Chains A and B, each alone.
Chain A
Amino acid sequence: MPYGYNGKILHVDLTRGTTRVEEPEEKWYRTYMGGTGFVAWYLLEHLAPGTDPLAPENPLIFATSVVVGAPLSGFNRYVVGAKSPLTGAFAETEAGGYFGPELKFAGFDALVVHGRAERPVYLWIRDGNVEIRDAAGLWGLDNWQTLERLQQELGDSRVRVVSIGPAGERQVLFACLQNDLEHFNGRTGMGAVMGAKNLKAIAVRGTGKPALADPDKVKEIARWHNERIKSHPPNVGLTKFGTPGLLKSINDAGFLPTRNFREGWFEGAEALSAPVYHETIFHSNSTCWACAVRCKRRVERKEGKYPLDRRFGGAEYESLAALGSMLGNRDLVSVAYGNQLCNLYGLDVISTGAVIAFAMECFEQGILTTADTGGRELRWGDAEAMIGLIQDIAARRGLGDTLALGVKRAAERIGRGAERFAFHIKGQELAFHDGRGKTGMALGFALSPTGADHIETPHDVAFQGDGIAKLFPLGLFEPVDPLRTDEAKVRFFFLGQKAWGLNNVLALCNFTSVPIHAMTFGRLVEAVAAITGWDVSLYELLKVAERANVMARLFNNREGFTAADDTLISRWFEEMPSGPLRGKRIDPARFAELVRLYYEMSGWDEQGRPTRGKLVELGLEGLARG
Chain B
Amino acid sequence: MKIEVRHYGAGGRPVAQRVELPAGSRMHDLLARLGLPEAEVGFLLVNQGDGSFDRVLQDGDRVTIIPPIGGG
Residue of B nearest to A510 (CB): B71
Find chain B residues with CB under 8 A from A466 CB: 6, 45, 47-48, 62, 64
Interface of B is mostly: loop
A511: min CB distance to chain B, Å? 9
B70 within 8 A of A: yes
Find chain B residues with CB under 8 A from A169 CB: none
Find chain B residues with CB under 8 A from A459 CB: 69-71
A241, A253, A466, most chain B CB atoms within 10 A: A466
User: Size of chain A's interface in residues, with CB distance under 8 A?
Assistant: 49
Interface of A is mostly: helix
A321: min CB distance to chain B, Å? 8
- Known interface pairs A232-B52, A466-B48, A467-B43; A481-B70 also in contact (CB < 8 Å): no
- Known interface pairs A233-B43, A234-B42, A465-B14; A245-B68 also in contact (CB < 8 Å): yes
Find chain A residues with CB under 8 A from B6 CB: 465-466
Interface residues as binary, B17-50 with A (CB distance below 8 Å gives 1, 0 otherwise): 0000000000000000000001111111101111
B11 adjacent to A237 (CB under 8 Å): no
Find chain A residues with CB under 8 A from B9 CB: 252-253, 580
Find chain A residues with CB under 8 A from B12 CB: 464, 479-484
A231 adjacent to B66 (CB under 8 Å): no
A237 adjacent to B38 (CB under 8 Å): yes
A433, A455, A464, most chain B CB atoms within 10 A: A464
Find chain A residues with CB under 8 A from B68 CB: 234, 237, 245-246, 249
Find chain A residues with CB under 8 A from B52 CB: 231-233
- Known interface pairs A232-B52, A467-B66; A240-B38 also in contact (CB < 8 Å): yes
Q: How far is the CA of A437 from the CA of B67 in the complex (A)?
A: 14
A516 adjacent to B70 (CB under 8 Å): yes
Find chain A residues with CB under 8 A from B62 CB: 466
B44 adjacent to A233 (CB under 8 Å): yes
- Known interface pairs A241-B39, A246-B69, A250-B69; A483-B10 also in contact (CB < 8 Å): yes
A464 adjacent to B8 (CB under 8 Å): yes
Q: How far is the CA of A245 from the CA of B71 in the complex (A)?
A: 11
A residues near B, CB below 8 A? 231-234, 236-237, 240-241, 243, 245-246, 248-250, 252-255, 274-275, 316-318, 321, 431-433, 437, 441, 454-455, 459, 461-462, 464-467, 469, 479-484, 510, 516, 580-581
B residues near A, CB below 8 A? 6, 8-12, 14, 38-45, 47-54, 62, 64, 66-72
